[in-house]
Structure 1
């Protein structure tokens, strides 16, 4: 385009056409006004996506991926359509070494328009040597569009406050090393966040304006609020809230422990103006709405509501600028918010130290002093595997422990699926080796039972209905009586008479009507 402009400006008599001709617009002094650059810049600016930044700190590469999946999850009514559009288009995540990176496009409710592009920078360990990697990410242009997310996990809540302290120390060391222009923008950003209307809908009025109040009203900050603003909005995400039930069943935790953790976290985060949320994998939550609201991403078609939740212990949501000491105190009496708040302000001033490499002498000094917020927290919330105050009796003294290490839900279901497949294969093998089943008894083997079902056998002899069973029975009886008579008194004459009588009987049976019996003389 530069060459084109040069050729246009070098052409003779380019600006001296007669009035009424199709000449390009000219300025008052008669010089040619270059409108092509402005038009092209306007089109480019219209297509340029708003750029947002997520600085994701903590967690493992797997938990960071889980967070990104929850953040990118679609909540529209037609997931099949969205899956078809996004299939194979998810950018890869590079988070195995040092500072990782990926990006996500935030789509509107209709999944057609792109609202913003979010660049995610991921760092797993609060190592001071990584501080130079974070510094270039914070510029006067990027600070207002950046949100710091610190990931925690319910698999080890006893480490939360120590990890959080190291991350805050690392961030402070980076922020104080920035140039003056960036620090001015950070101060302006924190002032804007702090002055937002706390606990009210944004539609109620502008920041500092109460409805029907007749003018701007400044709400004073309560105790412990915004004492230690970092200059960048922050959100703490506690993943794996489904492990709360596991801590309760396997390690005997009670509501007192969970309430203490919640009160401690909210007291500390109130000082930084940060938000807090508990998330559960594979369950819908307000994480996406919270992140979008913190980054200033708003749908053009569907208004996303963000409502606090401090009742459900596995779905806690505390938005920024909503909390206060009064709301924290009602959770459970006896919690020393003043002490925790003061101790936290003191110990975050120290330079960062690698997690897990703090010296024993330093830890002993903290324990002896008794004023460290981390020490107070860890004395109450202890690692069940290292807690010697909890007795773990053995079964019959043979070293068998009562507690059982359980796997996560997905791992358990995977094992059960493998077992079912093995049992299915075994059943098919046994079924193939089994002989063909045969009947235990033929129905013809038991004549008595058969006769019960088929009834008596009858036939017609010379017009007379004869019962075969009855005839056979009579013959057997006669044979039996004859045999007895033979044994007692042998008499050939009686036997001959009996035979003759029997012959006459059967002759009478087969005698035809109107005729004479066979073998008898005619009359």
Structure 2
């Protein structure tokens, strides 16, 4: 009892706590708190999807749709099941005018759980007038969750460097106008990406040190790496790699030109810490894995591997932080990486300008100091370039490219040409016709002696054709005096001669057959 009394006496506030058990919990300022609101807020925060952003620049509305379909496709599941499941659930794409928008949900490997929601903003042309549309998309909250994707197409690779330069100029013009808080976040984002060095795991990369090194060791950057970081991760997607074979067969391109394009792209993208991938329609690629890893979206059930590929020319994949000048140099000797890298750093400092104006001012860049001009002097548009010779052509100036007209104009020219040829043929045929001369009796006798008598069977009796003609002539001669009396119509004489001609024509066509009527002797 004494111990109990001491315990009770040593806890003077015990009674007050017990009395307050049935009351609602209060905050420090004494105000009541709604438990249900806090619970609901906690559940809502737990189910809130991670928000990711894709800023898709370049391409056409059609190629942008192709990119989104490839990005959203589930390559591991049955296509029929995926299509049935997604049927009627795919959000529409509004990308016909100015800045477009759509969104996609990233599903896990089992197609049940949603890992993240990706908002896609689409812009086709690098016009300076679109810069105000991009600025609101770049905030301190959105930049760490944003990836810039620049679309190129193999239908016109000779325009790649010029378009890439204008996109970089446009992005730089927008980024320099952001507020200080956003710029600080951009610097932190670039530092994090730059520290994801080769051969380092995520923990050691975040710490900026080598594993098992005993202390933080910073890996120095190689030449040309991260010289021009934009503050936002970037990826260049070259679509339609199946057109590489068409360029090779139809326009005479060779491996040297394809290697030059790859070396130039990798050298430029290395300066921005960007990744590169070639894609082909309707064929599986690593595009989805590359975009997911760049956005920080990882499956909870299946780990997706991302492996580089610089061997297959239509399946190139260069992840960020993997490339280097040494790896680029071994593709082909003679490529000037130092010159291209230096020239690019100078060119992107200028403000953006329309692409048509850039093409018109290309003549002023022929001094050899422009990276874009150096690229376009090697990779030329086959339709405009008449100096590209076929690999088997000699140096006599033979060209593999010819200017062709429209199909309708071509056919019209062919009709005129055919009419002209037909008129020439008719004229030549008229000049070559020999006039038929009447044969004299002497010549006729010589011919008859040469070919012999002509006989035919008429009613079982062998008849001599020459004797028959003689009798016909005598008959006509005997009727001549009678014609001098009453006049004979020219039509009757003509009809009579025609009947005789038809008779002998029938004999010629049916030698040995009986004629329909026998002449009177």
TM more than 0.5: yes
- Ranges in structure 2 where 5+ consecutive residues have no aligned partner: 1-15, 394-398, 405-521
Aligned pairs (5 A) from 1:284-299? 284-299=284-299
Match of 1:382 in 2: 380
Change (3 A) 1:54 1:402: closer
1:364 aligns with 2:363: yes
Question: Given that residues 386 and 401 in structure 2 are in contact (C-alpha distance below 8 angstroms), is that contact kept between their aligned partners in structure 1?
Answer: no
Give the corresponding residue for 1:176. 176
How far is the alpha carbon of 1:93 from its aligned partner? 0.3
* Cα distance in 2, alignment partners of residues 230 and 270 from structure 1: 12
Match of 1:467 in 2: none
Local SS of the residue matching 1:247: helix
The 1-side partners of 2:239 and 2:167 are apart by: 17
Q: How far does the alpha carbon of each residue in 1:410-438 deviate from its partner, in whole angstroms, 9 at most, with x for none?
A: xxxxxxxxxxxxxxxxxxxxxxxxxxxxx
Structure-2 change in CA distance of 1:187 and 1:402 (3 Å)? closer
**1:343 equivalent in structure 2:** 343
Say yes or no: does 1:44 pair with 2:64.
Answer: no
CA contact under 8 A between 2:308 and 2:318: conserved in structure 1? yes
Q: Deviations over 1:433-478 (max 9, x none)?
A: xxxxxxxxxxxxxxxxxxxxxxxxxxxxxxxxxxxxxxxxxxxxxx
Which residue number corresponds to residue 262 of structure 1? 262
Give, in whole Å, the separation in 1 of the partners of 2:328 and 2:401. 37
Q: CA deviation at 1:18?
A: 6.7
- Mapped partners of 1:269, 1:349: distance in 2: 16
8 Å CA contact 1:250–1:403 kept in 2: the answer is no
Q: Post-superposition shift, 1:20?
A: 7.4
CA distance in 1, matches of 2:359, 2:120: 33
Superposed CA offset, 1:263-316 (max 9, x none): 000000000000000000000000000000000001111101001000100000
Alignment of 1:189-228 (within 5 A): 189-200=189-200, 202=202, 206-228=206-228
Distance in 2, Cα, partners of 1:44 & 1:237: 36
Q: Deviations over 1:326-358 (max 9, x none)?
A: 110000010000000000000100010111223
Quote the Cα distance in structure 2 between the aligned partners of 1:401 and 1:233. 42
Partners of 1:191 and 1:221 lie apart in 2 by 12
- What TM-score, normalized to structure 1? 0.70
In structure 2, what is the Cα distance between the partners aligned to 1:180 and 1:78? 48
Equivalent residue for 1:85?
85
Contact 2:104 2:117 in 1 (8 A): yes
Aligned equivalents of 1:199, 1:93: Cα separation in 2: 40
The alignment status of 1:321 with 2:328, answered yes or no, reads no
Superposed counterparts of 1:236-255, under 5 Å? 236-255=236-255
Instruction: Encode CA deviations 1:174-209: one digit per residue, 9 max, x unaligned.
Output: 111111111111111111111112255548765533
Give the C-alpha shift of residue 37 in structure 1.
Answer: 3.2
Indicate how the Cα distance of structure 1 residues 323 and 384 shifts in structure 2: closer, same or farther if over 3 A, else same: same
Identify the residue that residue 303 of structure 1 maps to in structure 2. 303
Q: Is the 8 A contact 2:195 2:205 kept in 1?
A: no
Please say if residues 126 and 170 of structure 1, whose CA atoms lie closer than 8 Å, have aligned partners that are also in contact: yes
1:48 Cα offset (Å):
1.1
SS of residue paired to 1:376: helix
CA distance in 2, matches of 1:315, 1:201: 26
Render the CA deviation track for 1:466-512: whole Å, top value 9, x for unaligned: xxxxxxxxxxxxxxxxxxxxxxxxxxxxxxxxxxxxxxxxxxxxxxx
Aligned residues between the structures: 383
For residue 484 of structure 1, what is the aligned residue in structure 2? none
Tell me, which stretches of 5 or more residues in structure 1 are unaligned?
1-15, 395-399, 406-523
1:154 corresponding residue in structure 2: 154
1:338 and 1:87, CA in 2 relative to 1: closer, same or farther beyond 3 A? same
The answer as to whether partners of 1:195 and 1:208 remain within 8 angstroms in 2 is yes
**What is the CA–CA distance in structure 1 between the aligned matches of 2:145 and 2:154, rounded to whole Å?**
29
In structure 1, what is the Cα distance between the partners aligned to 2:199 and 2:284? 23
SS at match of 1:69: helix
Q: Distance in 1 between matches of 2:179 and 2:362?
A: 34
Deviations 1:348-369 (A, max 9, x none): 0001011122374x322211x2
Q: Distance in 2 between matches of 1:301 and 1:358?
A: 49
Q: Within 2, Cα distance between the matches of 1:402 and 1:39?
A: 72
After superposition, the Cα gap between the structure-2 partners of 1:341 and 1:211, relative to the gap in structure 1 and judged at 3 Å, is: same
Q: CA deviation at 1:25?
A: 2.6
Whole-angstrom CA distance in 2 between matches of 1:335 and 1:401? 27
CA apart distance, 1:381: 0.5
Superposition pairs for residues 478-489 of structure 1, below 5 Å? Answer: none
Q: Give the distance between the partners of 1:224 and 1:175, measured in 2 at CA.
A: 22
CA drift of 1:388 comes to 1.7
Q: Which residue of 2 aligns with 1:508?
A: none
